[in-house]
Amino acid sequence: MPNFKTMPESEKIRHLKKHAESAARFIKQYSHVCLVTHNDSDGLTSAAIMIQAFKREGITYYHKVFPKLDAGTVSYLASSFPEDFLMVFCDIGSGQAEFLSVLPNPIVILDHHVPVGKSPAKVVVNPIDVGLEGSYMISGAGVSYLTARAMRPENADLASLAVAGMIGDRQLMVAANALILEEAKEVGVVTSRRGLKVGSGTLFEVFMRTTEPYLNVTGKPEAIRSFLSDLKLDENKNINDLTEDEMNSLADAVLEKLKPLNSPDAVEAAVGEIYYLKNRSVENAFDLAGILDSCNKDEDFAMAVALCLGDSDVLERMCENYRLTQETLVKNLALFLPTAVSLENVSYIYGRDIHSAGNISTTYIRYVNPQKSFVCLNENDGIIRISARGTRLLIKSGLDLSIAVKQAAESVGGSGGGHNIASGGLLPSGKETAEAFIKKLNELIGIQLSKSVGGSVCPISSEGTIRFIDETDAEKEEQLSQKLVAALAPDNVYDTKTTVCDGYADVQIKTEKIGSLLATADDLLMNADGAVRIKKESVKSGYSKSHQTDDK
């Protein structure tokens, strides 16, 4: 058994791809498949990826979408499909081994959630099994893409759907995600530009209905107009049509609004690369992910998959549903966020028929109070649905919501699980049950955090290093990295130190706040990107790639 703890990341990815190849070979043995996927954007893009792969192999498929797997749903599957049908579970199934074990069918699981129990699957493709983190290194759509890619090379065009799944699952473009993104760009199905990570629309529309980022002007017409006027930006201009200078000005203004939060998660979610899907009906990846996440019934799910696979006839209806969902979410945020209750280790909201509880949880912990875990408890249809969120800084301090939510839910007769940074579950109805769950969760999170720095969150270090590497012999001979950091020196307004070595140059940044650090690094990389483009235009040679080497 390989030691994945000490294995380089590239080797872990290689092992994950080997698992995907095994799944691909196994799937191709079957002529009939029942595909079961989760009901969010990651699950629906996973479905589209696998359905297209099945079509290209001539495999007959049936698709079922569930928000969760339990004894009832598995019993339905067992009674609905013959035993010789292959069951393929995407973005779901790793945490439900006890239920899936009753299925007589052969099973393949393509997932990125935390495994629980001994899986009955013939093949499992899960990043956690090879030492990769499923919450940010690869999504369910990414795992599905690796499997489809292993089925036949032309499935590389499905990488655009994998990128949309990553965006919807709020993943980082690192590790396996970065590999898939690179493939998507290489085959020409994804392009990107730097700026505000939002969907398309006029500037006024974007700030009226977008909750990522959620600012003090969101949903407030006069505040939006004043904000844009101060930046000398036309509220009726489509954000896609902004010049580079205009986009940079807008991104800087948003970062300034986020600085008081001292939240790297908020900064990363708001500003960075915007991805465009060149072979999809909806080009902006943030729009496609949002459209898919606005689906909430079987008819929506069928149209969502059809949209992913190129059916433009459903586009208008899906976009209208998305617009209404966004407007409702903005109203609900204004209504529910002020009702949050804060305990020692967790903040929470409890209510009935709360729309988009998961988005409310994400918005609260990113843009209201990132210092504590947050839970939205939404009671409807006789049960309480849990949406729990953490931050990467809390994870580094010991938080693991997949364990804490599961244990707290089970203590009151419910169930739960997911990722260390985002988890969900179900509880029996009733306010007393909700309060007992929160009390237990607050206790468990306190225990987790107490194992590092005496029960409090680790102090945020505000130091980081960006390394510029000479990758070719020509770059090394020209000392391109040294020239680049020298050219960028005037922009280093914070305390910085430059170290030049053979083949690379480091810029060390030190600031008072992590938000300032990330904003400074962002500016530095943006300027470096501009310098690289100028270099490429003037001298037809390679260029020096840059990447962060010290993420503190």
pLDDT tens-digit profile of 136-166?
999 999 999 999 999 999 999 999 999 999 9
- Residue range 28-56: average pLDDT? 98
DSSP 284: B
- Residue range 500-527: average pLDDT? 59
- Residue range 423-452: average pLDDT? 95
The residue ranking higher by pLDDT, 460 or 74, is 74
The residue ranking higher by pLDDT, 547 or 183, is 183
Q: How far apart are CA 116 and CA 417, in angstroms?
A: 9
Q: How far apart are CA 132 and CA 127, in angstroms?
A: 5
Task: Please determine, for residue 391, whether its predicted confidence score (pLDDT) is greater than 60.
Answer: yes
Contact 196/249 with Cβ under 8 angstroms?
no
User: Which residue in 433, 425, 354 sits closest to 387, CA to CA?
Assistant: 425
| Amino acid in the structure at residue 157 | D
Joined together, the tokens standing for residue 107 give 């099973």
- Express the helix, strand and coil content of the chain in percent, nearest 5 each: 50, 20, 30
Q: How far apart are CA 385 and CA 375, in angstroms?
A: 10
What per-residue confidence (pLDDT) applies to 537? 45
- Residue range 476-490: average pLDDT? 61
Q: Which of 49-53, 123-127, 223-227, 498-502 has the lowest mean pLDDT?
A: 498-502
The residue ranking higher by pLDDT, 115 or 459, is 115
Q: What are the structural domains of the chain?
A: 9-189 (3.90.1640.30), 192-277 (1.10.8), 340-455 (3.10.310.40), 463-551 (3.30.70)
Q: Measured over all CA atoms, what is the biggest interatomic distance in the chain, rounded to whole angstroms?
A: 70
The residue ranking higher by pLDDT, 415 or 535, is 415
Q: How far apart are CA 424 and CA 385, in angstroms?
A: 7
What per-residue confidence (pLDDT) applies to 463? 59
Task: Please determine, for residue 525, whether its predicted confidence score (pLDDT) is greater than 90.
Answer: no
Task: Please determine, for residue 522, whether its predicted confidence score (pLDDT) is greater than 90.
Answer: no
Joined together, the tokens standing for residue 552 give 């503190």
Q: How far apart are CA 390 and CA 420, in angstroms?
A: 8
Contact 374/387 with Cβ under 8 angstroms?
no
What per-residue confidence (pLDDT) applies to 511? 54
Average pLDDT, the chain: 88
Half-sphere exposure of 324 (CA within 13 A, CB side): 8
What per-residue confidence (pLDDT) applies to 550? 37
Q: Which of 100-104, 126-130, 503-507 has the lowest mean pLDDT?
A: 503-507
What per-residue confidence (pLDDT) applies to 137? 96
pLDDT tens-digit profile of 52-94?
999 999 999 999 999 989 999 999 999 999 999 999 999 999 9
> What band does 356 get if pLDDT is binned at 50, 70 and 90?
confident
User: Which residue in 156, 134, 132 sits closest to 145, CA to CA?
Assistant: 156
What per-residue confidence (pLDDT) applies to 458? 40
> How many residues does the structure list for the chain?
552
> What band does 399 get if pLDDT is binned at 50, 70 and 90?
very high
Task: Please determine, for residue 449, whether its predicted confidence score (pLDDT) is greater than 50.
Answer: yes
Residue spans of alpha helices (H) in 120-173: 140-151, 159-168
User: Which residue in 300, 279, 274, 366 sits closest to 41, CA to CA?
Assistant: 300
What contacts 349, CB < 8 A, 6 or more positions away?
336, 337, 339, 340, 341, 360, 364, 375, 376, 377
Residue spans of alpha helices (H) in 28-139: 41-57, 71-80, 97-100
- Residue range 339-358: average pLDDT? 94
DSSP 312: G
Predicted model pTM: 0.79
Q: Kindly report the CA angle at 261 between 511 and 274, in degrees rounded to 5?
A: 85
DSSP characters over 86-110: EEEEES--TT-HHHHTT--S-EEEE
Q: How far apart are CA 93 and CA 109, in angstroms?
A: 6
The residue ranking higher by pLDDT, 354 or 514, is 354
